[in-house]
Amino acid sequence: MPAKLLAAVASAALVVLGTAVATPAIASGAAPQTTAAHVASIRSASVASLYGGGLYVQPDSVAAEQAQALASAGRTTDAAAAAYIAKRPVAIWLGPWFTGASLVKVVQQNVALAEAAGKTPVFVTYAIPDRDCGGYSAGGLSPTEYGAWNQTIASTLGGHRAVVLVEPDSLGQTTTCPGIGAGRFALLTQAVQQFAAAGVPAYLDGGNSRWLKPAQMAGLLNQADVQQARGFFTNVANYIGVTDERTYADQVSALTGGAHYVIDVSRNGRGWLGTWCNAPGAGLGQDPHPTLGTTGLDALLWVKTPGASDGTCNGGPAAGQWFAAYADALVALKK
């Protein structure tokens, strides 16, 4: 069981996008007080200030570890594909496998390395109760644990440049998974408030252009208090092309008060291929990078780890395990 964080951050000071603000006192796991100044700073920040120096490459990423292991095993082709992926910035996934001190450690280590390199790390939270609605990635923390877990992340990131993508599929699945409605929105709203109070730009689940209509997705985002976040993300672990996703995301943005957005391009080099699960024929998308910030699009990211299996489908191992043959194909068919 993860340790409960007893966070009391009263009278501390942090830098929010270059502006010092006072940190409110925070009860254990509770949503801290979010001020208009916090939200305004997060919403109005330039892309250059959010993603200054470009995106951070994690030196001990899943792909980097696999590249070393595969090379040691003499699997040169598989190792080369993993090494290619490892050289590019991929989001760092945080789930129930990191709790308490281990959660603080992994966040602190990557933030320190990113700051030394002058880069911005991207984190993904993936621990919400009833995660993946019992699918290949089923799991998650309890509701009580979840608030404290998010507060650990928010408190650790406070004062540092980083962005957080909050719970892929968590909003879209409220339309298909019985029993996760009102409680799911309350948990996501709490998470948004926790990150906003710490000055951390957060993005909520925005589904993708093949899933829900823009008005329906915008309604879900508004229920989850997207107005206190930087915005939303789309296409995570999916394959849809950037043009279609931008058209969709621009419409969602217009219905959510001008929320900014990021798009996952990790595996969309060949576009939609008829299935979301280890889709045959997929290729890496363009290299991840921040945009010029002239529209609502903040960045094109690799959120899903290319080479990590979606689940036991199309020949893949369990969800999250390295799928070497698939990684090879993604690199061979890259955009």
In three-state secondary structure terms, 300 is strand
How would you classify the pairing of strands 122-125 and 92-94?
Answer: parallel
Is residue 182 within a helix (H) or strand (E), and if so which, with residue range?
Answer: helix 181-197
User: Which one is catalytic: 205, 225, 264, 310?
Assistant: 310
Distance CA 26, CA 308 (A): 36
User: Which one is catalytic: 78, 130, 169, 225?
Assistant: 169
Is residue 299 within a helix (H) or strand (E), and if so which, with residue range?
Answer: strand 297-301
Q: Which ranges constitute the DSSP H helices of 46-128?
A: 47-50, 62-72, 76-86, 100-117
Q: Which of 139, 167, 154 is nearest to 107 (CA)?
A: 154
- Is 310 designated active site? yes
Task: Give residue 198's identity as a one-letter amino acid code.
Answer: A
Q: Which of 335, 323, 334 is nearest to 78 (CA)?
A: 323
Distance CA 73, CA 243 (A): 41
- Is 132 designated active site? yes
How would you classify the pairing of strands 122-125 and 163-166?
Answer: parallel
User: Which one is catalytic: 78, 130, 132, 328?
Assistant: 132
User: Residues 181, 196: contact at Cβ < 8 Å?
Assistant: no
Residue with tokens 């984190």, as numbered in its chain: 123
Beta-bridged to residue 264, according to DSSP, are 301
Task: Give residue 72's identity as a one-letter amino acid code.
Answer: S
Burial 230-241 (b: 16+ CB within 10 A, else e): bbbbbbbbbbbb
Distance CA 41, CA 18 (A): 9
Residues 6 or more apart whose CB falls under 8 angstroms from that of 247 comprise 209
- Active centre residues (catalytic): 132, 169, 310
